[in-house]
Structure 1
Amino acid sequence: MSTKVPAPNFAKALRAVRLERKLSQEDFYEVSGRTYISRLENGGADPTLSKIVQLAQVMGAHPLTLLTLAFCSNGSSAEVDRLLAGVKGEIASFQDLRMDRRDRRRHAE
C-alpha cells in the first residue's frame, strides 16, 4: 500500500452513515451534544479515536467502517475492496508484528 494517502474526510463518512441509519444529530445525546456532531459533520472538529468508537456504537457500526469510509471518495464496494486489500497487504508485510509486547529497547542517547 502506498504511504501517500488522500486526506480522510471523516465528516462526509459520519454524515453518510448517520443518514443511512436514519439517525438525527440528537440521537447521539448520550455520547455527544448536537453542536459537536454538527461540527464533526462540517469538518470543524476532529474526533479522538475514543469518540469514533462511541459514535460508531450509537450507529450500530464498527469504528473501522467509519474510518474506511473516511478514506473513500464514494464508498463503492470496489473502492472499499481496494482500500482494505491494500491495508491487509501492508499488515501482512510486517516481519515481526507482535501487539502483545512492549518495546524494551533502550534508545541510545
Structure 2
Amino acid sequence: MVDNIRQFPGAEVPDQTLSVERRPFGFCSHEKISLDEHSRTVKCAACGKVFDPFNFLRDEVHRLQDAWERHRQVRSSLSEHIDRVEALKKEEARLKGRIKTAKAKAEPAIDVRNRSL
C-alpha cells in the first residue's frame, strides 16, 4: 500500500508575507481628528481609522443637529419648570395669608389651670 503514495517535490509552505495591523483593544470615540489637506482624508488621531470625508461631515452635522434639538428641549422644559415654580410661590403666599387670617379669627385657647399658653 505504501508503494501507491507519491511524494511531490516542492510542497513546502511559503513564508508568511501578510501582516495584520491590530488596533488597540477597546472602544474609540474618535474625539481627536486629524485632517490631511494634501490627500484630503480624515483620520482619527487616537486609533488611526480613516473616514470618508463626506460621511464624516454628514455624521458631524447630524450630531450637531441632535445636540441643538436636545438643547431646545431642555430650554423648553426649563421654562415650564420656572413657570410652575412661580405658580407654586404664588400659591404658597396665598395660603400663608389664609393661615394668618384663620389664626387671627380663631378663638383664643381657654386657660384651664391659670397658665398662659
User: TM-score range, shorter-chain basis?
Assistant: under 0.3
**Higher Cα Rg, which structure:** 2
Q: TM-score, normalised by structure 1?
A: 0.26
Q: TM-score, normalised by structure 2?
A: 0.25
Bigger proportion of residues as strand:
2
Higher RCO (CA-CA < 8 Å; seq separation 6+):
1
